[in-house]
Amino acid sequence: MAEKGLYDAAAKGDEKALHELLQEDPLLLNRVSYTSPNKTPLHVATIHGHLPFVEQILNHNPHLAKELDSQQSAALHVASANGYVEIVKKLLSAAPDICMSRDSQGRNPLHLAAIKGHVRVLEELFRVAPFAAREKVTGGLSLLHLCVKYGQFEALKILVPMMNELLNWKDDGGDTILHMAFRDRRIEAIKFLLTVAELEVNAVNLNGMTALDVLIHSRWDFRDSEIEKSLKRAGAFGAFEPNIQLHNNQNIQDNSWKRLFKNQAEWLEKKRNALMVVASLIATMAFQVGVNPPGGVWQDDKVVDSQEDPFITQLTHQGHLAGISIMARNYPVGYTGFYICNTMSFIASLSIILLLISGLPIRRKFFMWILMLITWISITTIALTYLNSISLVTAYDDRTSLQSVLGNSILVWFGLMALLFIGHTIRLIIKLVKKLRKRSTPRQRRMVAASAVLVNNIGV
């Protein structure tokens, strides 16, 4: 009951009720700080803006200024978001380090004050904890980004002179506050920012766009031409105009390489996984066929009896041992082709698996193409193994039709292999030609420039 009365008093700002409750139970505020499931009485009094009640609570238990609610917000977060300057001052005197505390959305009190545009609160917080102003929120947004994003122009004007070092900071997308001002159509902020000498009007984001490019790609009303003129007067260019191209070429190139390496890494990872699965399956099949050859194995030993007629023995069957392949004895030539193809397939598959798990730095497509070539060999030899197996176990009377089927299958298979080989060869040639052209173009330009210099020198 005492705790309920305390929360009711905090909501009403009833100081008299607070004194009576503390006289009855001097440890009430201390106990509430540990038993409160959500907000403390200090949070409640701050929400309602009861400054005298807040002062009384802090006098009895200043530790409550550091207590967080279920949203990880301290009372200072609440006061900053609501613009209660005097309460902010009291809370800062009790717990100045709480300025660095972040709520469940990663925002400290300065961020909340900037979002709401409470200028006086921002000034007070910055005076006590200027280092907290350098913290970024989710997405890499700085304090100035938040002012632009939420249209708090007055807060922006106050903060820019105090925080020049944050003026050209970029978010996770590479956007400066000028990029964001154009994207979010903050006209007043744009006009103000273009008057700030320290602002880099030609900064490039991760998409390779300057603020002028953002304007061109997001026109919205008749004022665009006027703003564009103001931008150009401030020295702005598009990212692909000659003046800025040289300045920002390195940044754009770096971003392009990052995207290229990311895409290549994803491609290589997919190929590695696919090759591992295929190689494992082929190795398993080749092993099973090797230890269980077509036609089976002899189940007993048979030795040629010297008492028998050698001619009759030759006509029936020769001697054999248990576990030896039947087809190796009956069709030695065909069986030789069978185990050669099967062994090649097995060794090729194991080679692929060994290369993939060996830890070698296979980071380039060239090495992956080599692995794919070995996979082609493995697949082709396992296909030939199958054809040899079918030939060995087919009855002699059916050999004519079998040969027709096998011949057509082989033609189709090698036709497909030839088509793939030609396609990849053409792709390789095209890449080589493009690479040679890229290398030759700068060389030609240097030769032309050198010739021009030579002609000018002769003319002089």
How confident is the model at residue 312, as a pLDDT? 46
Assigned domain for 288 exists: yes
pTM (global) more than 0.75: no
Give the pair of three-digit tokens for residue 416.
């497909």
How confident is the model at residue 264, as a pLDDT? 52
Same domain (yes/no): 265, 386: yes
| Residue where a domain terminates, one of 240, 273, 303 | 240
Does the pLDDT value for residue 287 go beyond 50? Answer: yes
Structural domain of 196: 165-240
Give which of 149, 127, 123, 124 is closest to 136, Cα–Cα: 149
**269 or 212, which is more confident?**
212
Q: How many domains does the chain have?
A: 4
Assigned domain for 248 exists: no
Assigned domain for 254 exists: no
Assigned domain for 74 exists: yes
Most confident segment among 155-159, 318-322, 439-443: 155-159
| Residue where a domain terminates, one of 114, 135, 156 | 135
- The overall average pLDDT reported for the chain is 79
pLDDT in tens, 9-37: 999 998 899 898 888 888 888 887 666 66
pLDDT in tens, 177-228: 988 988 888 888 888 888 888 888 888 888 888 887 777 776 555 455 556 5
Assigned domain for 435 exists: yes
Does the pLDDT value for residue 256 go beyond 60? Answer: no
Same domain (yes/no): 292, 377: yes
Same domain (yes/no): 51, 93: yes
C-alpha–C-alpha distance, residues 143 and 147, integer Å: 7
Same domain (yes/no): 387, 403: no
pLDDT band at 244 (very low <50, low <70, confident <90, very high): very low
How confident is the model at residue 124, as a pLDDT? 94
Same domain (yes/no): 290, 374: yes
**275 or 300, which is more confident?**
275
Same domain (yes/no): 97, 177: no
Same domain (yes/no): 118, 208: no
**340 or 397, which is more confident?**
340
Q: Find the CATH number of the domain harbouring 7.
A: 1.25.40.20
pLDDT band at 460 (very low <50, low <70, confident <90, very high): very low
Same domain (yes/no): 295, 327: yes
| Residue where a domain terminates, one of 365, 393, 421 | 393
Same domain (yes/no): 2, 129: yes
Average pLDDT, stretch 361-367?
Answer: 62
Assigned domain for 153 exists: no
Q: Which residues contact 417 (CB under 8 A, 6 or more apart)?
A: 376, 380
Give which of 103, 137, 92, 143 is closest to 119, Cα–Cα: 143
- Helix 365-393 and helix 332-357, axial crossing angle in degrees, nearest 10: 150
Tell me the CA end-to-end span of the chain in Å, nearest whole number: 102
Assigned domain for 22 exists: yes
Same domain (yes/no): 100, 178: no
Same domain (yes/no): 270, 351: yes
Same domain (yes/no): 385, 412: no
**How many alpha carbons lie under 13 Å from residue 270 in its C-beta half-sphere?**
6
Assigned domain for 346 exists: yes
